[in-house]
Amino acid sequence: MNPADLRIVEVGPRDGLQNLSAFVATDRKTDLIRRLAACGIREIQTGAFVNPRAIPQFRDMKDVLAGVRSLQNDGVVLTTLVPNLQGARDAVAAGVDKLDFFFSVSRSHNLNNVRQTPQESIAALRQVLDEFKSNRGLAIRVNLATVFGCPFEGYLETAVILKYVEKTARLGVREITLCDTVGWGYPSQVEAILKGCLAAFPEVVFGVHLHNTRGLGLANALKAWETGIRVFDSAIGGLGGCPFAPGASGNVATEDLVFLFQSMGVSTGIDLDMVLDTASFLQGILPDTPLTSSLFRAGPPRKVPFGTEEGGKSDCVS
């Protein structure tokens, strides 16, 4: 990656769908992923290889990947989330380009989420790295959850976060994404944590995975961008609500993030209108799940003719 380039990683097919109670049919998942790729998105998290009893939504991962694997011919990087060696094996067997290994830096959250301590997750990460070290075509990113706040432990000390970044980087991992899992992050904190990570680990490409639960998703993304981050996760339609905040916004929406960067003149390589069309498609699949994306509701800025009835409706006083 050219370090000047922005990379937006679409996580909607995974983070957006994982908490939905209704199963989304395999061909709809593959259709969604194909449409996302057609928007110009170059890296897509297609789902997760986790226990299907824990998250039944992803019981069809093998079929989903079989259905979208041809996108790799167009240079689209297909990833899945994996919490352990078994997940990594399944993902590699299913043909992913990249593993998104994950664990929580909060002990309680990791125990709650994947039934192991962070230390045990790091041991699992080491197994994964060992097993696939000869597989040159396979990339590995590590996603650290609850970096910006944990529902059990509150805000973590930066030293704790840096400790897990160091343990991860020491294993040779060169891409780490810091996740605001429950949307507690705020700009000055995001800046402080990222500055600490960037200064201490210049060899690592850091990314952020932000949620908009409390409305600060784009403010945090802006601050991350200004701090030097160039890898941003987002989810089409802003799906991805957290069970701790039912009814709240989910992930930072892909269309909102693309709009932020485009408006500031930062090239994304992504077609915003096609992203909005894809959000409409997603809303059609999920009619009972109102999308929380701002741009999906408002549309991009658009001039209306002065003196027409459409214009005359306005009393936007100030």
Strands (E), 123-204: 139-145, 175-179
Using DSSP bridges, classify how beta strands 98-104 and 139-145 pair: parallel, antiparallel or unpaired.
parallel
Nearest to 278, CA basis, from 249, 312, 250, 253 = 253
Which residues within the stretch 145-164 sit at the binding site for its own copies (CB under 8 A)? Answer: 145, 149, 151-154
Rounded to an integer, what distance in angstroms lies between the CA atom of residue 174 and that of residue 179? 16
Q: Does 312 bind its own copies (CB under 8 A)?
A: yes
- Find out whether 124 and 84 touch, Cβ atoms under 8 Å: yes
Query: Tell me, what DSSP letter sits at residue 100?
Result: E
Active site residue 242: yes
- Tokens 């079989």, residue located: 66
Our CB check for its own copies shows the closer of 72 and 316 to be 316
- Find out whether 33 and 44 touch, Cβ atoms under 8 Å: yes
Give the other-Cβ count within 10 Å of 219's Cβ.
16
CA 221 to chain centre: 12
Q: Which of 39, 150, 179, 242 is catalytic?
A: 242
Instruction: Report, in Å, the least distance between residue 70 CB and its own copies.
Output: 27
Q: Does 137 bind its own copies (CB under 8 A)?
A: no
Instruction: Report, in Å, the least distance between residue 4 CB and its own copies.
Output: 17
Among 1, 22, 93, 304, binds its own copies (CB under 8 A): 304
Give the other-Cβ count within 10 Å of 253's Cβ.
30
Instruction: Report, in Å, the least distance between residue 276 CB and its own copies.
Output: 12
Which residues within the stretch 73-102 sit at the binding site for its own copies (CB under 8 A)? Answer: 81, 102
Our CB check for its own copies shows the closer of 27 and 226 to be 226
Among 99, 125, 140, 179, binds its own copies (CB under 8 A): 179
Q: Does 20 bind its own copies (CB under 8 A)?
A: no
Our CB check for its own copies shows the closer of 77 and 218 to be 218
With contacts defined by CB under 8 A, name the span among 63-71, 121-129, 194-202, 310-318 that binds its own copies. 310-318
Query: Tell me, what DSSP letter sits at residue 49?
Result: -
Which residues within the stretch 184-213 sit at the binding site for its own copies (CB under 8 A)? Answer: 184, 186-189, 209, 212-213
Written as one string, the DSSP assignment of 212-246 is -TTS-HHHHHHHHHHHT--EEEEBGGG----TTST
Among 2, 73, 134, 318, binds its own copies (CB under 8 A): 318
Which residues within the stretch 33-62 sit at the binding site for its own copies (CB under 8 A)? Answer: 48, 50, 54-55
Rounded to an integer, what distance in angstroms lies between the CA atom of residue 212 and that of residue 236? 13
Q: Does 16 bind its own copies (CB under 8 A)?
A: no
Which residues within the stretch 218-277 sit at the binding site for its own copies (CB under 8 A)? Answer: 218-219, 221-223, 242-245, 247-249, 253, 256, 259-260, 263-265
**Helix, strand, coil content of the chain in percent (nearest 5):** 45, 15, 40
Our CB check for its own copies shows the closer of 2 and 318 to be 318
Catalytic residues, by residue number, are 242
